[in-house]
Amino acid sequence: MNKFAIGCGAVLVIILFVALIIGLSFRSTYNRLVTLDQDVNKKWGDVQSVYQRRADLIPNLVNTVSGAANFEKSTIVEVTNARASVGRVQLDSNKAPTDPAQLEQFQAAQGQLSNALSRLLVVVERYPELTATQTFKELQVQLEGTENRISVERNNFNGSVQNYNTVLQRFPTNVIGGMFGFRPRPFFAAQAGTEKAPVVNFNFGTPAPAATASP
């Protein structure tokens, strides 16, 4: 009888020990996924912030170029409409999207705005009296810096998403992640002709550097 009780006690201890190990493993995996998920969300917030910074610069840019005599109004309208399109793509700034279609829509709207800005800056070349103003020079510095930050923050976001997705798709993390509702996150994808950040060239009269083909 004593041997039976001792045997049952030993089995119970083993079961409790295994349950403890499994519980600690679940806890560690869950906490790691939470940490990676929060990092993705932070990087997404940084992306949203720099895109918003660019959107905030556009009214000042439009007002500045509108003051030039005979400036092409259609170009201004195109930029204004593109900015409005960006504003209609509503995504949570605190949580990165899990739907690739949502991110694609967001990226398409931002790409449309980038193209409109590029065309506007080409037109501005015809107005040297405009580019010589202090207001335009200040916008030059701010816009150049913002475009560079957009490229950096997008790359940071993609790196964070890659780390998160890699961990999430490994076994047994994928099982645990699925139990707690963790889902893969989409990347910013390179679009045709946009492998690099738009070149914001304000050195009018100086040829822009030739684009190099991606490997």
Could you read off the pLDDT of 90-114 as tens digits, one per residue? 899 889 999 999 999 999 999 999 9
pLDDT at 198: 46
Rounded distance between C-alpha atoms, residue 154 and residue 208, angstroms = 24
User: 128: closest CA among 214, 203, 76, 57?
Assistant: 203
pLDDT at 81: 94
- Please report, for the chain, the start and end positions of each structural domain, with discontinuous segments joined by +: 2-179
Please answer whether residues 188 and 91 qualify as being in contact, where contact means their C-beta atoms are separated by less than 8 angstroms.
no
Low-confidence ranges of the chain (pLDDT < 50): 193-215
pLDDT at 5: 65
Q: What's the CATH class of domain 2-179? A: mainly alpha
pLDDT at 200: 47
pLDDT at 34: 94
